Structure 1
């Protein structure tokens, strides 16, 4: 499957999962918009597969409906292989932060992804679900991670764990792309 087909499949999967959730909860698009803070028009476009939502929009939806982010991309396969640079990728609006899901079992409360932070840039994530733990390991490069106003510098293979519902940010002040392995443990 080429990248265009994969992207189209992802858009349809997100829309289908969102519509299924909304119907199971007997919610209108207006109800879902009020719950997530995402406009009714945008939600309708997502459900119909007419738009490729940004990472920020997906986070708002995930948080608003209290589902792990990757539950919108669930896989029921007994063996899943995720190769770097292949498969689904999501970027923020500035295109300086990209994630690739590498573990997306919908029945689990743990998610993992590879994250790519472009040189000389910063990423300020949407607020995560309450009681979520984020574990980040720098695989290449050097990244400063600010958590609740405190800054921590991580070099290759350094790991940090923190409550992801606290304000946090990732900064790459180098001239090289930084690659991180990030795990989220939801604490429902």
Structure 2
């Protein structure tokens, strides 16, 4: 079972910090991310939880990894994450959970364990963002839709793709599908 480590108020504070650090007004960020200024204000004040799609838009607009909204700044050259010590992140998609296994703030890639619970998922919006990603299926199987093409990966299979291609993950099985995943960032 996943738990949200950072409540919406903390995510909002982090987004406000990153926006201000870059010298952007909330209106400027809203325009860059194609969301309303009132949405930015509500997110930053912790009044609403942004959807995963909105988080991707904000991360691209702020030129930071999406996981940077969920962790404190860390500049260590070496970081060791012991089993069970990763940050658990579960957002709007109720069937997808992420365990961040590496710092991503100020880093060129993110490394995490992704767990996708059984469920159709065809109503989930497609994601796209800069960079590249690849994954290795540990348990179960995933159906991955990438720019209209569907790929099935089973235990031991891996996949690589350009993250700017619209994509989503679906688990047609009866148990959780678990994969390790890495994403690079184009900024």
Same fold (TM over 0.5): yes
Q: Give the corresponding residue for 1:64.
A: 61
Q: List aligned pairs for 1:100-139, cutoff 5 A.
A: 100-122=99-121, 123-129=124-130, 132-139=131-138
Extract unaligned runs of 5+ from structure 1: none
Structure 1 residue runs of 4 or more that deviate by more than 6 Å after TM superposition: none
CA contact (8 A) 1:96 1:121 kept: no
Measure how far apart 1:158 and its partner are: 1.1
Measure how far apart 1:37 and its partner are: 1.9
**Is it true that 1:16 corresponds to 2:21 in the alignment?**
no
CA contact (8 A) 2:127 2:168 kept: no
Q: List aligned pairs for 1:4-153, cutoff 5 A.
A: 6-8=5-7, 11-72=8-69, 73-76=71-74, 78=76, 79-81=79-81, 83-84=83-84, 87-93=87-93, 95-122=94-121, 123-129=124-130, 132-153=131-152
Extract unaligned runs of 5+ from structure 2: none
Inter-partner Cα distance in structure 2 for 1:128 and 1:121: 23
CA contact (8 A) 2:64 2:105 kept: no
RMSD: 2.5
Measure how far apart 1:59 and its partner are: 1.2
CA contact (8 A) 1:145 1:171 kept: yes
Measure how far apart 1:29 and its partner are: 1.4
Aligned residues between the structures: 180
